[in-house]
Amino acid sequence: MAHPAAENTPRAFESVLISRFEWPDHQVRQRLPGMGFEVRITNRPNGAAGITPAPTSEETELARFVVGYCRALFPVDDHGLLLADPDRPSPIREVCVGGGEVMLTDRRMSVVLIKASGALGRAKDERGSIVAIDAPYQALGSAAIVRVKKAFRGARDRSVRWYATRPTGAIDLEPIARIDSDGGRPIPASCALLFDALVAAASDDALRATLVEADERRRVQWVRDGGRTADGLDIVAEIRRLS
């Protein structure tokens, strides 16, 4: 359930942020600079300590997944930093690729990659470094289940893709399991499970906005209730209609 006070708080338009962070050995929990979520130390099912995303006091956690593969493609500068200016030309690059955890709250998707490489450099939580992705739902244009054709029969789900609007880019996620916030035993998860959880959370966030016309509110509610479109083999949920 969303925090009542937060629902009526005006928010500036938010952008996707991706950064590499060093993790102090003495720190148990901290807010990541410039980002809307925290990270903390957790005990994984195998007994090893790890770093995991955590919600702030202003947000409510809805779901959490382990992803074996995450890839973010965005325009970046020479230092691997994202460019939020849509008018500044820049090539799309692989900002990061790796594996870790995804947390969905009522406001954002938060990703902590405990092993990663890409334009930001290498990271590994065992050596005190992570890559964090803060992806507010306000920056989500649409989400899709990306599917690939199988030989001789049908198609299979390959990944869940987040199409970002600010900056323009995409985040691909391949879920392995769903877990609870207390680090309980993982439950195998499909692309459809992550996709449905993401679309529901993002749709609810869009419906909370006060300046939404009636026709658009009905359209988003249709998406929230399961309305989907097809793009080739892919299954698409359009959260925000782009003008």
Give the 3-state secondary structure of residue 218: helix
Residue 10 identity (one-letter amino acid): P
Q: Quick one: pLDDT at residue 7?
A: 46
Quick check: 155 and 233 in contact, CB under 8 A?
yes
Q: ∠51-54-57 over CA atoms, to 5°?
A: 150
More confident residue, 43 or 143: 143
What sign results for the dihedral spanned by CA atoms 230, 235, 239, 240? negative
**Nearest to 197, CA basis, from 67, 98, 50, 100:** 67
Q: What percentage of the chain exceeds 70 in pLDDT?
A: 85
Phi, psi of 120 (to 5 degrees): -85, -5
Q: How many helices (H) and strands (E) does the chain have?
A: 3, 15
How would residue 136 be classed by pLDDT, with cut points 50, 70 and 90?
very high
| Domain regions of the chain by residue span | 4-238
Q: Can you tell me the distance from the alpha carbon of 146 to that of 165, in angstroms, rounded to the nearest whole number?
A: 18
pLDDT average, residue stretch 26-50: 80
Q: What is the DSSP letter of 211?
A: S
List the structure tokens of 229. 């479109």
Q: What is the pLDDT of residues 141-167, one digit of tens each?
A: 999 999 999 877 788 999 999 999 988
Q: Quick one: pLDDT at residue 77?
A: 77
Burial 156-186 (b: 16+ CB within 10 A, else e): ebbbbbbbbbbbbbbbbbbbebbbeeeeeeb
Q: Can you tell me the distance from the alpha carbon of 191 to that of 68, in angstroms, rounded to the nearest whole number?
A: 12
pLDDT average, residue stretch 124-142: 91
**Nearest to 52, CA basis, from 168, 214, 186:** 186
Q: What is the pLDDT of residues 224-238, one digit of tens each?
A: 999 999 999 999 999
Q: Can you tell me the distance from the alpha carbon of 8 to that of 208, in angstroms, rounded to the nearest whole number?
A: 8
| Number of CB atoms found within 10 A of residue 13's CB | 9
Type and span of the H or E element at 205: helix 191-208
Place of tokens 């901290």: 30
Q: What is the DSSP letter of 76?
A: B
Q: Can you tell me the distance from the alpha carbon of 143 to that of 121, in angstroms, rounded to the nearest whole number?
A: 27
Cis bond leading into 188, ω under 30°?
no
